[in-house]
Structure 1
Amino acid sequence: MTSRLHLETFGPVHALPILHYRMEFAHLVRQTVQEIRPDCIAVELPATLEERFLQAVRRLPQVSVVSYDTIPRSASTAAQNRTLHLLVEPADPLAEAARCALEQAIPLHLVDVDLDDYPAVQEFLPDSYAVQRLGLADYYREYCRATEGAVPGREDLRREQGMAFRLQRLAERHERILFVGGMAHVGRIREFYGQARTEPLGRVRRHDVRIFNLHPDSCGEVMGEFPFASAIYEMRRNGPPPERKDAAPSLRRRFNALELIAGGKQAIPEQEVMRAAVESSAGKVGASGEMPDRQRIHLRLFEQAARHYRQETGEQLHYWQKRAFFRFCRNYAALSGQLLPDLFQLLTAARGCVDDNFAYAFWRLAGCYPWQREEAEIPVVRLRVEDLWDQSRTIRFRPRKQSDKGRSGLRFLKRKREQRPGEWLEGFDDGSICSWPPEDIVIEDYGKFLRRTGIRQLSEEQSRVEPLSTSLLDGIDLRETIRNQPHDGRIYVWERMRIKGGVGSVVVIFDEDRRNRYPFAMTWLGEHEQESDMAFYATEPGDNVSGPGICRCEYGGLLLSYPPRRMRDVWQDPSYRGWGTKAEILLMAALDYSPDPHVVYAAARPPRSIFKRIAAGMGKKIVYIPLGSLSPPALKRIRVMHLLFGHDKREIAKDYIW
């Protein structure tokens, strides 16, 4: 038996202490059944629910809800009745125990006592992920030590005495009994088992037990394990699924020219896309037969959500966002006394570290449970957190969308679409390529903003602070004055040095393209004095046809050089061959074509030191601006561009670009 298992043995009973609705303990149940080969399985549920509970277990992997009404003893009116709901889902240890019993034809017994007035008990339990690292023996020992002085309630004692009595009766007929019960009860059940007991009072029959199919929209809100994790557990239950050889489908599919010719414009159901994401993740959260690693599940969920986010918005998550996400999750979980975050904390981190669009994509994928359907052979019920628990937390997503002020709210629906396969390809008969003027205005304005930012940064770097003597210069430096007040008492002023010369070129690198994801490289000249010359590398235009003669591209990097109409094709210029990456070619061209002594370089990483020496030899200076210091929404806005094949497409472009 592996070290992760731990059983409390008394007589023929092998008791497995578990936490309810935790994936790690469901895996331990299955492992225990394979190890000890019991001839009887007992679970911590009342026999009054047996018929509906077994019906729900046979429906797995579909999630069912077993509901019944309770009548407290002190109730004086029917209005005080309350409805209890029991979720039967794959990652629950009790459901897994019953499932194993049915699959292997092992007798199953529900040995708990049915009480109407059992109070709601809130226990602060250690994170179940600790079992993955420590093993159940150390986990259970620390739990017993932490709860050693706790006084059990009267109802708990009745239930534990009743379970001990029924286990005594089962011991008379079976030689090896597996009992799956809550960690809070196993120790006292063991004590009561060694004493002579009588069956305690409790309900022996219920006539109002009902079973429902849980609505798919409720899965993410009420399931014990969030649906993505439960789905991975279910898929790995009989071994990891085979890896998909075909490319995973996209949430928002784009079509290239060949697909349009072949009429391959087919909508892919979102449920199929979500299931593919779960299947591709199921085989990467642990080796075959091992306990699924919850930490890896969170990683795979983040990566799949990032992929869908990029397909939906055209925006790629950067490494620093991923690092900030998991650091935020770690700290948030530590504040609540857990090792790993729950779904609410994951969503909060997704919204705070990226944006609402990513958080919404994260939520849709986390709530994906492929087997659940709106129609079933039994009634369907919608549940909310308030129906099961006394407390809940709310998070709202506000995905960004284009404002509808001053225009019809149905503008997106009025966007023109292809009437027949291949219609849009008829617009590519013009060999000239041009840009769309509204996008030119946006990117030129941002280039001017980067030029001002670079000059301001240089001025701040060369500013100086000195004690007040004869002039206030550019103003009082409060920080230096306060810092030196205790031992100096003088007032300090600062002077911003005036920078000679301006910025002649601006380089923005979104991606250094070390994997050749941006194969399309081009240089074009400004059409008038208010536009700059531009060189860029971007995605292939034919991969995303947006209209007749209109293609959508994403910049990997770009160069803006002022004044216009001076730049040769930098990609064919032999002077720049051998510099390696496309980003470095753009930087070399920026130094060459800049008439001013400063070149702004905005990228995730600073340029190599050799470029600073080359710039110094040319009498110029590179002003580096970290990409993370710039506004992400502004960068996302300028990163997308549209290529128009012919100037006549400018008149119709507004009908196809949204």
Structure 2
Amino acid sequence: MTSLHSSFLKISPRISVLPLIHGSGDYAIEVRRVMLNNEFDCLAVPLPPSFQANVERGISFLPSITAVLQEEPPISGSAPWEEDDEEEEDDIQRVCSYVPIDPCQGVIAALRLAMMEHIDRHFIDLETQRFESISASLPDPYALKKVPIEKFSAAVLPALNKLPEGQPLDRCKMMAHRLRELEKKYKSILLVCSLLDWPWIHDAYIEQMPLEVEDEEVNETNIYTADSETLLFLLGELPYITGLYEAARSELNDDENLSVDGIKELALTARDRYRMELKSRGRKITPKVLSVYFRYIRNLSLIERRMTPDLYTLVKAAQQVAGDQFAIQIAETAREYPFVHLLPFDKISFGIEQAQLPNGTMFELSNRLPGNPISWRNCELAPKPPKPKQDEWEMRWDPFKQCSWPPEDVAIEKFRTSVKDHALSLLGVDLARTEKFTTSMKDGLDLRETLRNWHTGEIHVKVLPPSRGRLDCVIMLFDSPADPRDYPYRLTWHAEHQDESTLAFFATDHRKEMVGPGIGMATYGGALFLFPPRPVSDIWNDLQFDFVDTLEERLLVAACHYSEESHIALLSEAPPGIGWRRLAKRYQKKLIHVPLGRFSQETIQQLRMFHVLNGQEIRSYAAHYIRKA
């Protein structure tokens, strides 16, 4: 050990202390470093002897996660003489204290390494029938990357509150007493304990405080397999980060900075899954977007006086930067743990300070290795419904009733107006001219022409005449060339009122992605808008348009047929080819190309997603189910 550690973190010449914050992967790495760089013949941990057998058994099953529970006397609201009354049995509240077999727990990491190195292990805590858990807000352990553990502990020491009288102080006295007994047998003892208990164990040892209590009779401990779906409530680190620590351990990779690098890995994995699920419908999570996301996480963490983010920060930042769907992927990825194996124990499901056995028995829980206090906050996200539910909604779909979702109608109509205005501005560009300055600046100075005639001293100004003509038809091609197999849903919708366009479109099958009862989600491949609205036949079944082959050409021919103006706005990635222009010329029309890249890709992706409702009555509750990427 370093000289500072030997002087400051030593209780006696034979006893060294490693004070830690429970549930921290950074502290688990520090425990490993200390134990591998020094020689110890005994490890003492702050757990009662009754837990030793099952805790060490659970450690032998790592990386599979287990938990060791010890049931405490039940808490009943009835008087002592009424405890046998059968009517009061339902009021009895069952309570357990437990030890999570978490590889990112410093105590578990120390025991795991001691078992591998064949170092004697002793559980020296007081046996108590009802355990009183003590926790406090402590600095972020990530500081250990730059600050030695001795300086970190010394900095925290003045801020620690004195333990309350009763069980917390009695536990420290018992641990000090057992350390004195171990000192007679071993030459180099390492005590791994909570940062909150360390000063009081030291004082009890130095002052040789007398024991005022003895071990109580306690129930036997039981070991359970933790349900992989609820590991978020058991582990100190996020399950995904814990899995990265275990993967690095098994593959002998560097894990020194996983508390931060793991967050980046989590975001990249969530991005890949987001792309796989939504494909072209999702937002583009570019390196720039990820950079904004990570900066936002950093700022939110600093506001909360943390160096590393918690799950709420990760999800909230993802929701603000890239939408609900990406936030859901972050949350689902964060709670995944890859090392799930079949173990010979009953499975237990964890919740917020409670657990449920397979038979439905509920327990209130008290953690024997409590870390920093956790505050649970709400983040409203609309998760994707399970597949069986989607199949049920699809079977109940009535094919003779369909309508749109009004908020999406308003959004796409505003976008249509924007495209039309942009096309009109392009229509007037060809009519712009330049003339010499006489008495008016007209539409502004033409700097290029003025510089070109600089030697003559003449000033030239721009003249932009008003646009001639109008536009009543807009074509939007989001995916061109479009594969007909990807867009089987082809329909012509008539306007419900005078502020809506007549709409013809091809899109993905809305019944393949049901988001609620009577609510399906589809994605536009292309659309045709006629405004003011007018009655038209269904262009997909109209025989007069059968001479064209592709979906895009059918929209184009229908637009040329029903448009009353000489120009048609075309929004697409690439400008129309000579074949499309010939089709338009056949109907004496001209195409005005508006590049798709002029608009925000996030906006385009949001507008492409729309919902089909199975009747107007569905609109009354559709907002509860509809979500955006």
Match for 1:34 among 23, 32, 36?
36
What are the ranges of 5 or more consecutive residues in structure 2 without an aligned counterpart? 84-91, 355-364, 367-373, 398-411, 428-464, 480-549, 561-571, 584-588, 612-629
Q: Write the distance in 2 (CA, Å) between the matches of 1:367 and 1:361.
A: 10
* 8 Å CA contact 2:44, 2:192 repeated in 1: yes
Match for 2:275 among 297, 300, 310?
310
Match for 1:104 among 102, 117, 122?
117
What letter is aligned with 1:170? L
In structure 1, the residue corresponding to 2:178 is in which secondary structure?
helix
Residue 208 of structure 1: how far off its partner (Å): 3.0
Counterpart residue number, 2:245: 233
Q: Write the distance in 1 (CA, Å) between the matches of 2:593 and 2:53.
A: 76
Over 3 Å counting, the alpha-carbon distance change for 1:157 and 1:150 in structure 2 is closer
Residue 563 of structure 1: how far off its partner (Å): 10
Counterpart residue number, 1:8: 9
What letter is aligned with 1:231? G
Counterpart residue number, 1:196: 208
* 8 Å CA contact 1:43, 1:180 repeated in 2: yes
What letter is aligned with 2:266? L
Residue 565 of structure 1: how far off its partner (Å): 2.4
* 8 Å CA contact 1:226, 1:367 repeated in 2: yes
* Match status 1:158 vs 2:170: yes
Residue 70 of structure 1: how far off its partner (Å): 2.3
What letter is aligned with 1:206? V
Match for 1:129 among 142, 152, 166?
142
Residue 310 of structure 1: how far off its partner (Å): 0.6
* Match status 1:372 vs 2:373: no
Residue 197 of structure 1: how far off its partner (Å): 4.2
Match for 2:330 among 356, 362, 375?
362
* 8 Å CA contact 2:224, 2:347 repeated in 1: yes
Counterpart residue number, 1:410: 394
- Computing the radius of gyration from Cα coordinates, the structure with the larger value is 2
Over 3 Å counting, the alpha-carbon distance change for 1:602 and 1:98 in structure 2 is same
Q: Write the distance in 2 (CA, Å) between the matches of 1:456 and 1:195.
A: 89
Q: Write the distance in 2 (CA, Å) between the matches of 1:2 and 1:342.
A: 33
Match for 1:559 among 569, 574, 594?
574
Deviation string for 1:627-647 (max 9, x for gaps)?
A: 45x254225679xxxxxxxxx
In structure 1, the residue corresponding to 2:124 is in which secondary structure?
strand
What letter is aligned with 1:68? Q
* 8 Å CA contact 1:386, 1:392 repeated in 2: no
1:161-240 to 2 correspondences below 5 Å: 161-203=173-215, 205-240=217-252
In structure 2, the residue corresponding to 1:346 is in which secondary structure?
helix
Counterpart residue number, 1:22: 24
1:283-432 to 2 correspondences below 5 Å: 288=254, 291-314=256-279, 315=282, 316-373=284-341, 375-387=342-354, 388=365, 392-395=376-379, 397-399=381-383, 409-410=393-394
Residue 209 of structure 1: how far off its partner (Å): 1.6
Q: Write the distance in 2 (CA, Å) between the matches of 1:399 and 1:4.
A: 52
* 8 Å CA contact 2:54, 2:221 repeated in 1: yes
Over 3 Å counting, the alpha-carbon distance change for 1:123 and 1:74 in structure 2 is farther
In structure 2, the residue corresponding to 1:84 is in which secondary structure?
strand
Q: Write the distance in 2 (CA, Å) between the matches of 1:601 and 1:452.
A: 12
- Percent identity between matched residues is 19
Q: Write the distance in 2 (CA, Å) between the matches of 1:94 and 1:188.
A: 18
In structure 1, the residue corresponding to 2:382 is in which secondary structure?
coil
What letter is aligned with 2:169? L
What letter is aligned with 1:346? L
Over 3 Å counting, the alpha-carbon distance change for 1:34 and 1:4 in structure 2 is farther
Deviates more, 1:343-352 or 1:523-532: 523-532
Counterpart residue number, 1:63: 65
Over 3 Å counting, the alpha-carbon distance change for 1:402 and 1:200 in structure 2 is closer
Match for 2:132 among 119, 122, 128?
119
Per the normalisation by structure 2, the TM-score is: 0.61
Residue 111 of structure 1: how far off its partner (Å): 1.0
Q: Write the distance in 1 (CA, Å) between the matches of 2:5 and 2:478.
A: 52
Counterpart residue number, 2:358: none
Over 3 Å counting, the alpha-carbon distance change for 1:98 and 1:530 in structure 2 is same
* 8 Å CA contact 2:73, 2:95 repeated in 1: yes
In structure 2, the residue corresponding to 1:179 is in which secondary structure?
strand
Q: Write the distance in 1 (CA, Å) between the matches of 2:185 and 2:422.
A: 84
Over 3 Å counting, the alpha-carbon distance change for 1:340 and 1:32 in structure 2 is same
